[in-house]
Structure 1
Amino acid sequence: MQNDVSHLPYKLIFHKTHGDDCEYTTDEGILDLKAFGYKNRPKYVDVRDSVSTNLVTYSFNGCFAYSTKDACQNAAACITDEISKKDRLIARQEGRSFTHTQGVSTIIYTDGASIKVQVFLLCSTSESMKAQRADDNNYIIQIESKCACPGKCTYKSNGLTGGAVFIIILICIITTYLIISIIFLRFVKHEQGINLIPNRTLWLQIGADAMNGVRFTVSKVRGRDSYEKL
């Protein structure tokens, strides 16, 4: 694996989390592990082992646990056998440890038993992931990303869609229109009861036209059905 950083002394420096379980404070800024993941699905998928004879692919997700099929449940990382197509969990999100030294962030994961996965995050303008099996119980993942540069990325959860924003704005406009109109009719025009409905005549006419349209459509459909029966 090029630019292999597995030799770095990853236990030299420990940094406590900042704010939440996935934000880590370093001497260069805050590294947000959420920037390396998606909710409910892995951000990095189908990454082949750097050793061509290792017929497996890797998936990895920062911060958020994900589940696929087979044994890959509540995972941080899984491998898939390219022959059998079966998944196997190699890392869980729980119990990970974080260090940052010599400009490299290192996260140590386990599967809750004997398997250990070392993830090295390298600050880079490009985006890539490499993975390699060192032995049956040890795996190395190397990710190059601008988000590996502390302080460069902040995770943003999915906001409202454009359609949702439009509906909210429309409801606010209609509500404001109704409130202002009712206040005007009540205190300026001194209307009461049903007369407080703004443009009542217009809305009644629209309702009547809609009902007439429905009746017309139904009559046409029924007339065609009767003709077809004949």
Structure 2
Amino acid sequence: MTAQKNVVLLSCLLLVYLPNQLISVDPCVFDLHAKGIIDLTGVGHVDGTPAWKNVKPVKDDKHVYSYNPCRPFTLSTCENVAACQTFTTDEKLAYSLGTQNSLQWTVAPGKDLPTLHYTTGERTLVVSLHCLSSGGKNKLVVDGLNPTTKLYEMTLSSKCACWDGCKGGHSGNSNNGLSGGTIFIIILTMVAVIYFIAFISFNKFKRQANGMDILPHRTFWVSLPGYSLGGIKFIVHKITGKETNYTPVP
């Protein structure tokens, strides 16, 4: 009974844990079921260049800033970054303000829209979102370094910053959900894992099997490649008109 309980418990854990491992985090999409989806895929560039390059801050700080949602870009000494700070007097003096894989979406209490937090080393960039419900051109406002919080701040205004503003209506390679084929593969994988764990545990603890005998339906799986090869040969011979010596399974 202990072995059977362990199998049931492990199966339940797999049903909860495995799907979460197969779905990766997308820096382009934020899904809050209670409100909708914010999809920035159509806002950023996909060619390795920033959507906004060398933008001057509201208050001049002798720097310019570049930013690209979703996809990394390279500019000067900033390689594969989400945002870059560059000296106006020397573009070779550039510093990363965060990478795409460091992105964290957060929703502050009392605020309707999330903010994007990027980090790299001691620098942290906070990008606030502003919804352009009536449409209009995407816009980036750079505030630069906040002397109080020590955070770099920007505001991104876009229709895509609205809840469901660009859901399914953008051009890009982002998926807003799992396809039917992906769901089928997830289910098939879970069933296969549960099948093997359940039968291996049963053979091991109930039947006291050892070695290769603990594998479920071992004879079938060992014979399967031969049966498959024989079936392929039979089909090829039928198509080519060659004589077949196919023996049916009794």
Shorter chain as denominator, the TM-score bin is: 0.5 to 0.7
User: Within the alignment, does 1:148 sit opposite 2:189 as a pair?
Assistant: no
Which residue does 2:131 correspond to in 1?
123
Q: 2:145 aligns with which of 133, 146, 169?
A: 133
Per-residue deviation at 1:104? Answer: 2.0
User: Within the alignment, does 1:64 sit opposite 2:75 as a pair?
Assistant: no
Match of 1:117, as an amino acid?
A: L
> Cα deviations across residues 34-64 of structure 1 (Å, max 9, x unaligned)?
2331111111122101112x01111111110
Kept in 2, the 8 Å contact 1:105–1:148? The answer is: no
SS of the aligned residue for 1:147 comes to helix
Per-residue deviation at 1:128? Answer: 1.6
Per-residue deviation at 1:19? Answer: 7.3
Unmatched tracts of structure 1, length 5 or more: 1-15, 159-230
Which residue does 1:50 correspond to in 2?
58
Poorly superposed stretches of 4+, deviation over 3 Å: none
Per-residue deviation at 1:151? Answer: 0.8
The number of aligned residues is 139
Higher RCO (Cα < 8 Å, 6 or more apart): 2
Which residue does 2:39 correspond to in 1?
32
User: Greater CA radius of gyration, 1 or 2?
Assistant: 1
Unmatched tracts of structure 2, length 5 or more: 1-19, 174-250
Cα distance between partner residues in 1 of 2:156 and 2:88: 22
Which residue does 2:114 correspond to in 1?
105
Cα distance between partner residues in 2 of 1:110 and 1:47: 20
* Identity among equivalent pairs (%): 26
User: Within the alignment, does 1:95 sit opposite 2:102 as a pair?
Assistant: yes
The answer to which of 102-111 and 21-30 deviates more is: 21-30
> Cα deviations across residues 84-118 of structure 1 (Å, max 9, x unaligned)?
1222211111121102352222011001x111100
Match of 1:97, as an amino acid?
A: Q
Kept in 1, the 8 Å contact 2:75–2:84? The answer is: no
Per-residue deviation at 1:142? Answer: 0.6
Cα distance between partner residues in 2 of 1:37 and 1:61: 5
Kept in 2, the 8 Å contact 1:57–1:79? The answer is: yes
What TM-score does the superposition give when structure 1 sets the normalisation length? 0.55
What TM-score does the superposition give when structure 2 sets the normalisation length? 0.51
Which residue does 1:220 correspond to in 2?
none
Kept in 1, the 8 Å contact 2:43–2:51? The answer is: yes
